[in-house]
Amino acid sequence: MLSRLLRRQHSVLPGFSLSLGLALLYLGLLVLVPLSAAFLKTATLSGPAFLAAVASPRALAAYRLSFGAAALAAALNAAAGLLVAWVLVRYRFPLRRLVDGLVDLPFALPTAVAGIALTALYASNGWVGRWLPFKVAFTPLGVWVALVFIGLPFVVRTLQPVLEELSHEREEAAATLGASRAQTLARVVLPTLAPALLTGFALAFARGLGEYGSVIFIAGNMPMLSEITPLLIVTKLEQYDYAGATAIAVVMLVASFALLLAINLLQAWTRRRQGER
Amino acid sequence: MSTYTGSAATTEPAWLRRALIAAALAFMALFLFLPLAVVFVEALKKGWDTYLAALLDDDALAALRLTLLAAAISVPLNLAFGLAAAWALAKFEFRGKSFVLSLIDLPFAVSPVIAGLVFVLVFGLQGWLGVWLQDHDVRVIFALPGIVLATVFVTVPFVARELIPLMQAQGTDQEEAAHVLGANGWQMFRRVTLPNVRWALLYGVILCNARAMGEFGAVSVVSGHVRGETNTLPLHIEVAYNDYQFAAAFAVASLLAGLALVTLVLKFAVERRLQNQLKKALQ
């Protein structure tokens, strides 16, 4: 029945209804039903109670920190990620393959490990922290450092394939037409990379917004000052304020879904831009 | 009049190249290499005896067992899901396909903390099934089932995401040939499809396993942090760290950092084979 309802083309291959049915059942039970619990729980709150939970001064401070630190970290990631991807694709140097492999470290390293390592490094007696004239660990700056760590591979891995596909011919053409190297980079290379760069930024931003493990060790976690939104959700849960925790979670979920949609559109744009060449 | 040389116009002068490489490596050292190195240095700061004692501690061993058990349940579940989803999505055309594709990616967009929270809302004492579960003496939250559910949630996309593009690129010709030659569905899947996607499958499982063993936020919300019972390795690190047992926390962290390095090596080994397979399929 499922197959007659949905199929666009006839296929001789078996197993369509079975595999799609199983996949949808799995997604439904393990992802969609639990997520809908958050929205249904919030729907039991009255309007004013909902507003009081999601727009309290403490919640607003947490959103500001989460969105601000994630955006600033993704911005540094976009710049540094462009540099790293460029160097890895265009230049040859010793141990390049090893360095390339280590770009994925934030994907592979458990966030709690990253959290305590960054804290040890950037604390005022740490390898890096002792050389800095200002405090990093246990301040909002610490949140930013953790999010920079977490976000880097998103930008590098989004840019690398686009840079590899970028043909030298267009750069040569620009040069023969009299463009300087700087003009070629600004007018030819950068516009081609723009959609991928934006996608990488959005992916890093989305990840940073929800990040928990690597941040809570280094942040200091002072309410109103260095408390990220996911931590506020956990704090409310530990105080048995389920409705309050869920209301804030719903705000974050809506933001995440909007970002997911934006990322899908950006990726479609990236593919179109690549197809044009 | 200066003559145009290809290299000068399409690359940077040598000094600038070197400066850019140095800048990229300095950034990566500050944010990637040093954090990795500091884990091992801090772990061994108080000597091998302290290090081994921290790893052989009863609570640490219990956490290791729980981490392995949770991954051993979650990874095969997501592997089976990935195969089913990829078969339907890559080999057939149907209405709503792109919607299902975005649904698979959904868990990546959700904060791990929220992934844990939603299971508390369903299975917790105040949740939908809380009273029923209590009456029947079944524990989900603050017990293994909750930890597995949270782990499964955050790792749903890994295998499916690797399989779908490859199976799409490979098309249906080989399976159709097997079908015409009289293979039944299971034979076709086992003899044709599985060998064709083995590298993508392995790649997805490697990434899925790394995340399953390392997950912190989602598991932290549903675990209850009972020492020796519901602490996974990442949670054990947090408990030790908050008790100011830094050497012990870093010792356990070095174990997970080692797992991350093994993951990267395996990923590197499989990646090239997977890319070759994908290129071949796209030709």
Tell me which chain B residues have a C-beta less than 8 angstroms from the C-beta of A30.
Answer: 149, 152-153, 156
Q: Does A243 touch chain B (CB under 8 A)?
A: no
B94, B109, B117 member nearest A260 (Cβ): B109
Please answer yes or no on whether A233 and B117 come within 8 Å at the CB atom.
yes
- A260–B106 CB contact, under 8 Å: yes
Nearest to B27 among A15, A80, A105 (CB): A80
pTM score, whole prediction = 0.93
Neighbour tally for A187: CB within 10 Å: 11
CA A267 to chain centre: 14
Q: With CB atoms and an 8 Å threshold, state whether A152 touches B175.
A: no
Query: Can you list the alpha helix ranges (DSSP code H) found in chain B?
Result: 6-10, 14-28, 34-43, 47-56, 58-91, 97-109, 112-123, 130-135, 144-155, 157-170, 173-180, 185-188, 194-196, 198-214, 217-223, 233-242, 246-282
**pLDDT value at A7 more than 80:** no
| Residue B2 pLDDT | 40
- Spell out the residues 6+ positions from residue B102 whose beta carbon is closer than 8 angstroms to its own: A260, A264
Query: Is the model's pLDDT at A141 over the cut of 80?
Result: yes
Q: Which B residues 24-83 touch A at CB under 8 Å?
A: 24-25, 27-28, 30-36, 38-39, 42, 81, 83
Percent of chain B at pLDDT exceeding 90: 75
* Cα separation, A71 vs A67, whole angstroms: 6
Q: Are A147 and A203 in contact (CB under 8 A)?
A: no
Determine, for residues B118 and A37 on separate chains, whether the beta-carbon distance falls below 8 Å.
Answer: yes
Both structure tokens of B191: 């003899």
At residue A167, does pLDDT exceed 80? no
Q: Could you report the per-residue pLDDT of B178-226, keeping only the tens digit for each?
A: 988 988 888 999 999 999 999 999 999 999 999 999 999 999 999 988 7
Residue B4: per-residue pLDDT: 40
Q: How does pLDDT run across B18-50, given as a tens digit for each residue?
A: 999 999 999 999 999 999 999 999 999 999 999
Tell me if B111 sits within 8 A of A256, measured CB to CB. Answer: yes
Whether the pLDDT of residue A2 is over 70: the answer is: no
Percent of chain A past pLDDT 90, that is, above it, reads: 77
ipTM above 0.85, yes or no: yes
Q: Classify residue B281 as exposed, middle or buried by CB count within 10 Å of its CB (0-12, 13-18, 19+).
A: middle
- The distance of A188 to chain B (nearest Cα, Å) reads 11
How confident is the model at residue B155, as a pLDDT?
97
Mutation for A interface: B12, B79, B92, B162, most A CBs within 10 A: B92
Q: What is the pLDDT of residues B167-176, one digit of tens each?
A: 999 989 999 9
- Identity of the residue in A27, A117, A210 whose CB atom sits nearest the CB atom of B103: A27
The Cα B276–Cα A40 span in angstroms is 47
pLDDT value of residue B5: 42
Are B116 and B235 contacting, i.e. CB atoms less than 8 angstroms apart? no
Alpha-carbon distance of A106 to A134, in angstroms, equals 25
Q: Among partner residues A93, A111, A233, which is closest to B216 by beta-carbon distance?
A: A111
Residue B220 one-letter amino acid:
S
Query: Quick check: A120 and A134 in contact, CB under 8 A?
Result: no
Q: Do A107 and B100 touch (CB under 8 A)?
A: no
User: Is residue A87's pLDDT more than 60?
Assistant: yes
Q: Name the DSSP class of A129.
A: G
Nearest to A153 by CA among A237, A81, A53, A246: A81
Residue B206 near chain A (CB below 8 Å): no
Residue B9 pLDDT exceeds 70: no
* Model confidence at A9: pLDDT above 80: no
Partner residue opposite B102 with nearest CB, options A211, A256, A260: A260
pLDDT band at residue B235 using 50, 70 and 90 as cut-offs: very high
Looking at chain A, the number of H-run helices and the number of E-run strands are 15, 0
